[in-house]
Structure 1
Amino acid sequence: MAAGIHGARGRLARSKVNIMADQNILDVVIIGYGPVGQSLSILLGERGYSVAVYDRWPSLYPLPRAVFHDHEIRRVFHAMGIGKEVEALSQPSATYQWFNADWKTLVEIDWSSESISDGPVGYLFNQPSLEALLDSKAKSIPTISVNQGWEAVDLRECDDYCEVTLRRGAMKENVWIPTGETRTVKARYVVGADGANSFVRKSLGITFEDLGFQEDWLVIDLKPNEGVQLDVPDIGQWCNPERPTTMVPGGPGYRRWEFMRLPRETREEMQQPEKVWQLLSPWVGPDQATLVRYALYTFRSLLAEQWRKGRVVIAGDAAHQMPPFMGQGMCSGLRDAWNLAWRFDLILKGIASPALLDGYTPERKPQVRAVIDASIAMGKVVCISDPEEAALRDSAYLSGNVPPLPPFPGITDGLIHADQNPAHGGLAGQLSVHGRVQNAGETMRYDEAVPNGFHVIALDADPDQYLDDAARALLVQIGAQTIGITRDQSRLVADRVLYDVSGKYQAFFEEHRARVLIVRPDYYVYGACAAYEDISAMLATLASGLQRRDGITDTLNQHGEVAA
């Protein structure tokens, strides 16, 4: 499908601004090359921005860590152009089950059910395979420079850019040794995606708030031998006070167990090979599988007080750490990258002022806090080692006296229509619907049919006909897309009003009594209109919230380009 007039004009604007850029200063330097740094580099590099990524380690980490991503993150992978490849290295989740010591079901969370994003709620994957895919994608983009084996040692912010000093290192007998080589790079912005011990966070003097959860768990990944079938729940928590245990797939062909360390056990004891096989013995033996790795982790709940200072921001584990019971650690980091990507895009185009980054912390921090709180609540259910307390828990769950988990949190602050804040029951800040559409007889994903960006989506109509001149100018300026969705064959217009194949869009609009949605590039709803005639007024509110550069509308010439 054609990009549409608004999308085409947006790309012209970006192209001209990039030509104007100082070639001696990069657009963005990213410190850290895990999934968050990899993904952000791809999201920016594919938009044409100059990005350099630096990571202390000379090669990718070869062992598993995260094993779960949800439907929203699958949409992000599709936006990066690797959706089909990620599908090949992951598997849809089954129902997530919690059992008591006697294997009675306490909780079931159906991660296999249909999600708002068109597909199951969750997926299991092998992180080294995912990182290898992201690495290949990043290194294929000409505007991205990937530098492995470089440690950031100094960070300085100037008026118009930042300077990062790095030193090179190499591995000798499993120890990182500096080579003596250093370099300094300049960038308009710096992102610290450098993990829990983040140099960037520490250099900014940002402290963590401890939300109060801390437990040691032994994490074991193994690969069953060919033909071996293990008699274990597909994905579950065994809430046994004698030994709380997690069992999940580790992606196609892999399995993971996690065992809580009990008070009587030492950290050293838990990491002995004989202890590992002893813990695994009820389910699998050394003649049935190969150990991939095992390590003792301290599950924490930490939240950085600030996520941005000037031209520097932090993301991923540098900004937050959480217990794994919701599978949201990596997912939350990728949401950070996804949130930053469209903000940097508008700022680096010259359309928005740097103040657009002010919305990053107010949007991301409350959502992550809510996810951490839910993860802690789940962890407190799982991590009970006292038999009497466990019996009370079991009784409460088995009798149905425990309320269900709250819905996944959306965005409650930042760039959303204030009158429709979800705290007051509004649609703004919720994840928007995604499904399959048909255009000119061809069926495809909506995000394959319509280029990424701000979207104005109308039910049963082409929203273009309801726009005033100011709204049209705004949409041209920000490279937005306007599209109609319908279940009425008589209303179809090629490239303008698409057929709602599954009925997901019609159901979503009707549930929320909306005729029009304004959707952000990260798929969150900015706001909804109950009447087509209200679109321009809502877009005027969006315009005021975008922190556009002073006078930018006067620089748009008749071709929609940004004037020099």
Structure 2
Amino acid sequence: MHATSHYPVIVLGAGPTGLTLANLLGGYGVRTLLLERNASTVDEPRAVSIDDESLRTAQSAGLIDEILPSIVQGYGVHYFSWSGREFARIEPQSTEYGYPKRNAFRQAVLAAQLCEGLDRFAHVEKRFRHELRRFEQVGDKVVLEIDHAGTPVTLSCDWLVACDGGRSGVREQLGIPLSGDTFAEKWLIVDLLDRKTPFRHTRTYCDPVRPAIRLPGPQGTVRYEFMLKEGETAEYVLDEARLRGWIREREPLDEGLPIARKVVYTFHARLAERWRDGRVLLAGDAAHLTPPFAGQGMNSGLRDATNLAWKLHAVVQGRCGPALLDTYEMERKPHAWALIEMAIRIGRYMQPKSRLEAMAAQWALKLCSLYPPARDYVLQLKFKPKPRFGEGFFVPCQAPDTAIKAGQLLPQPRVEWPGGQRRLLDEVLGPGFACLSRAGQPPDPELESWMAGMDVRRIELVAAEDDFPWPEAPERLVVRDCEGVLTRVMAEAGAQAMLVRPDRYVLAFLQGGRNDAAPLRALLDRYRA
């Protein structure tokens, strides 16, 4: 086969994962082609919840100002018993990563925004109605045979990222199996328009007769999810009169709303056994399938894109070798599975099989609410697995008991610039690696050399209780840690500074001695081109 056009990266699939990855690669300056077999991005509601980490990724992609106005920020969940009485609320208030933890969105709107975002980059192409027929890894490239409206097209790339969904043709051609389970229970999903009630929080009905969820969304949308009983067919539950009757039982004002979509889903908890095969990588639903009960399916895919983008950039740029891409699965797979397990546990809670089981679950939550630390653990979603790696591209902590470790996502507080303006931290960090250090404490010369080789941005931190240095030095980037978060993170780690990766995970804590550079050089040597 002979390729007629070559790209450093081809992304297959214009869902949220593929679109986000293409936007991030565009921001890094990587020449990228996005291929999608359909005529446009998705025009129907699918995922409905976007979390704080994903909004931080949208910020990194330069699209947060377009996305925020079209979502419902900071919604919670109210739990109801079989008798219709509310027995618990989860309404997280913290914004550890700069945004509310739970937010409602419309996937069609987000996909359109991400797609339009690609128009900013002359070096990123998008082609719709391009369906992959087959591919072959030939030496140092991947050659793809594409069908474009009946016309064969041949393309090639250095790296192919398959974001082609749960039924990934790329995964199938590679012969990569999925491990895990498929849920026996099926659920009916009904999306409605023009809701009349202003209530913004999700209602979860832990009813053994018919477990159900009501999720209000932006622009007057609302979703219902009903668990089906054994033996109930899709034809039976999709009957409009029947499903509208179920809706009426939960909210009479929703009964007559226009239906945008109704579908029966089977849910999976499965992982691809390998996420990389040579020059082909799997991401999003192609790599993992998550039950919906924690609202983390799409968000896990966006984490994949965030992890992969800077690594592909480093490899394409020649700063690191292909071995760096092995850390993608190493870092992401355990966290993706931890979120799947959390969704399974929440699903068990939401799907009681008997009134006795429902009573036990509800009393357990009520007892938790009597003990403040346990109540805070539940209400602030602290049971959600931390975005933290066990192994990968980072220097392990010497102080393992710290709240924020190397290999963990750094919080995003606001910092103050000279002149009094306060901005989110990532606006200071920039798109690449960054070093945050105490003002007036430069690293040793050997570390300076390492940082220069990696284009590390240096940021000096003034403690919350201190003033900016005077006179000002325009050549220095100095900000005040006005919330004290970053100073506290470094103090707990016993560090004078910390290095942060482009995806905002802590690369290393620096102790301020002459031994800081050695482990960093060893890490870089391991993954050097």
Q: TM-score, normalised by structure 1?
A: 0.84
Matches within 5 A, 1:497-536: 497-529=478-510, 531-533=511-513
Q: Hey, what does 2:431 align to over in structure 1?
A: 452
**Counterpart secondary structure, 1:137:** helix
Task: Give the alignment partner of residue 114 of structure 2, picking from 134, 146, 167.
Answer: 134
Q: Structure 1 residues 350, 275: closer, same or farther in 2, change over 3 A?
A: same
AA at the equivalent of 2:155: V
Measured in 2, the distance between the counterparts of 1:277 and 1:77 equals: 36
Shift of 1:23: 10
Q: Hey, what does 1:396 align to over in structure 2?
A: 364
Matches within 5 A, 1:345-356: 345-356=313-324
AA at the equivalent of 1:101: W
**Are 1:432 and 2:410 counterparts?**
yes
Measured in 1, the distance between the counterparts of 2:183 and 2:497 equals: 42
Whether the 8 Å CA contact 2:28–2:310 is kept in 1: the answer is: no
Q: Hey, what does 1:308 align to over in structure 2?
A: 276
Measured in 1, the distance between the counterparts of 2:254 and 2:367 equals: 40
Q: Hey, what does 2:392 align to over in structure 1?
A: 414
Query: Structure 2: which 5+ runs fail to align?
Result: none
Q: Hey, what does 2:9 align to over in structure 1?
A: 28
AA at the equivalent of 1:279: W
Q: Structure 1 residues 381, 27: closer, same or farther in 2, change over 3 A?
A: same
Shift of 1:128: 0.7
Higher relative contact order (CA 8 A, sep 6+): 1
Whether the 8 Å CA contact 1:420–1:427 is kept in 2: the answer is: no
**Counterpart secondary structure, 2:193:** strand
AA at the equivalent of 1:134: L
Task: Give the alignment partner of residue 253 of structure 1, picking from 220, 238, 248.
Answer: 220
Whether the 8 Å CA contact 2:182–2:266 is kept in 1: the answer is: no
Measured in 1, the distance between the counterparts of 2:398 and 2:206 equals: 40
Matches within 5 A, 1:258-297: 258-282=225-249, 283-284=251-252, 288-297=256-265
Shift of 1:381: 0.7
Shift of 1:296: 1.1
AA at the equivalent of 2:230: P
Whether the 8 Å CA contact 1:462–1:497 is kept in 2: the answer is: no
Q: Structure 1 residues 70, 159: closer, same or farther in 2, change over 3 A?
A: same
Whether the 8 Å CA contact 2:20–2:114 is kept in 1: the answer is: yes
**CA-to-partner distance for each residue in 1:509-544, whole Å, 9 max, x for gaps?**
345554322211111112323x333xx634432332
Shift of 1:422: 6.4
Shift of 1:214: 4.3
Percent of aligned positions with the same letter in both sequences?
A: 29
Q: TM-score, normalised by structure 2?
A: 0.90
Shift of 1:94: 2.5
Q: Hey, what does 2:26 align to over in structure 1?
A: 45
Q: Give the length in aligned residue pairs.
A: 510
Task: Give the alignment partner of residue 68 of structure 2, picking from 71, 87, 104.
Answer: 87
Whether the 8 Å CA contact 1:421–1:428 is kept in 2: the answer is: no
**Are 1:473 and 2:440 counterparts?**
no
Shift of 1:549: 6.7
| CA RMSD after TM alignment | 2.5
Q: Hey, what does 2:458 align to over in structure 1?
A: 482
**Counterpart secondary structure, 2:10:** strand
**Counterpart secondary structure, 1:368:** helix
**CA-to-partner distance for each residue in 1:149-207, whole Å, 9 max, x for gaps?**
111111111111110111124xxxxxxxxx2x111101000000000000111111111
Measured in 2, the distance between the counterparts of 1:272 and 1:540 equals: 67
Q: Hey, what does 1:186 align to over in structure 2?
A: 156
AA at the equivalent of 1:478: M
Measured in 1, the distance between the counterparts of 2:269 and 2:252 equals: 31
**Are 1:542 and 2:520 counterparts?**
yes
Measured in 2, the distance between the counterparts of 1:168 and 1:245 equals: 42
Measured in 2, the distance between the counterparts of 1:280 and 1:317 equals: 30
Shift of 1:56: 1.3
Deviating more after overlay: 341-350 vs 283-292: 283-292
Whether the 8 Å CA contact 2:136–2:144 is kept in 1: the answer is: yes
Measured in 2, the distance between the counterparts of 1:129 and 1:422 equals: 42
Q: Structure 1 residues 61, 490: closer, same or farther in 2, change over 3 A?
A: closer
